[in-house]
A = this chain, B = another copy of it.
Amino acid sequence: MKPVQLVVVGSIGLDTIETPHAKKNEILGGSVSYACASASFFVPTGMVGVVGTDFPEPCVDVYRHFGINLDGLQKCHGKTFRWSGIYEQDMNNRRTLATELNVLETFMPELPDDYTRAPFLFLANIAPQLQLHVLSQVKSPKFVAADTMDLWINIAPNPLRDVIAAVDLLTLNESEARLLAGEKNLVRAAKKILEWGPKYVIIKKGEHGAMLFSENDVFVVPAYPLEQVFDPTGAGDTFAGGLMGALSEWGHVNEAALCKAMGYGSVVASFGVEDFSLGRLQKLSRTEINHRFAAFKRLTHFDAVEVR
């Protein structure tokens, strides 16, 4: 097996999801599932996460299908993390119905030795204390990104600030950026967060795309337009996983690379929402990603061809 270039830590869950189209019970989810599957199209990816003894073997097979390195996957006594939510009128608003932490409550992520030398690290959404614990184990990574959510902004602001201070890139969604910075305008919110340490901030806006901020620059990418969104769960993790996968494949990071990687992240995320769980990604090929990336370029570069 090729050495792991990107390590991702995050949650693994069995999700029960209701959308206006359908309801699904206990399907494979969690930030690290989406992020690793997405990144695996670009680079050998190692997963750090925990499942309970009830975790279905077919779900492990799904991970294997993507070629994800599972040396960092722990199986602990107890039940796997569960989340259930409902998307009401539209796909932009969801409501959490229930959360059972189960094995996540006592999870202590330990990195296999070769993971500690991986050049790229993505701290996907999980408690900031666990993100810090993983961060402390890696040896001189080239680039570290972290994602978070409103829950940690509300209940663990101090460890979260430590994470933010220690990473190169923070990704979070629109309402989380406003909540974290206490600032309605996204440009000003991002500038405030940049002052806390990271070199880059990416604000994810779902169907409206994403924005990248650095000290002196802003970059904006729309979302790939879709006629039908079956399930937006995990879209942000898929986006970030694809972005980190692309960066890891290229092996270095600068603004041009980040912009292009946002394009790849958007494209993989646009496939991801076409089905529940990892259903669409399981059928996806790198060729399809490359084709949609080319199409995405045509449909967003407003001055790519000469007007005549």
Contact = CB atoms under 8 A, between A and B. Distances in A.
Nearest to A191: B227
Contacts of A302: 219, 221, 259-260, 262-263, 297, 300
B299 A219 contact: yes
Nearest to A299: B219
A303 B307 contact: no
Interface of A: 89-90, 184-188, 191, 205, 208-209, 211, 217-223, 225-229, 250, 254, 256-257, 259-260, 262-263, 293, 297, 299-308
A306 B219 contact: no
Q: In terms of DSSP, what is the predominant structure of the interface of chain A?
A: loop
B263 A220 contact: no
B256 A300 contact: no
Q: Which 5 A-B pairs have the closest CB atoms?
A: A208-B208, A263-B302, A220-B222, A187-B227, A259-B302
Which of A90, A229, A300 has the most C-beta atoms of chain B within 10 angstroms of its own C-beta? Answer: A300
A245 B165 CA distance: 47
Nearest to A259: B302
A305 B222 CA distance: 18
Contact of A263 (B218, B257, B303): B303
A184 B227 CA distance: 10
A236 B110 CA distance: 53
Contacts of A305: 256
B300 A220 contact: yes
A290 B209 CA distance: 25
17 contacts: A187-B225, A187-B226, A205-B208, A208-B209, A209-B209, A209-B220, A217-B299, A218-B299, A219-B300, A220-B300, A250-B307, A254-B307, A256-B305, A256-B307, A256-B308, A297-B303, A300-B301
A302 B306 CA distance: 18
A29 B68 CA distance: 58
Given A187-B226, A260-B302, 17 more contacts: A90-B184, A185-B228, A185-B229, A187-B225, A191-B227, A205-B208, A209-B209, A220-B225, A221-B302, A250-B307, A256-B308, A260-B303, A297-B302, A300-B300, A300-B301, A301-B303, A301-B304
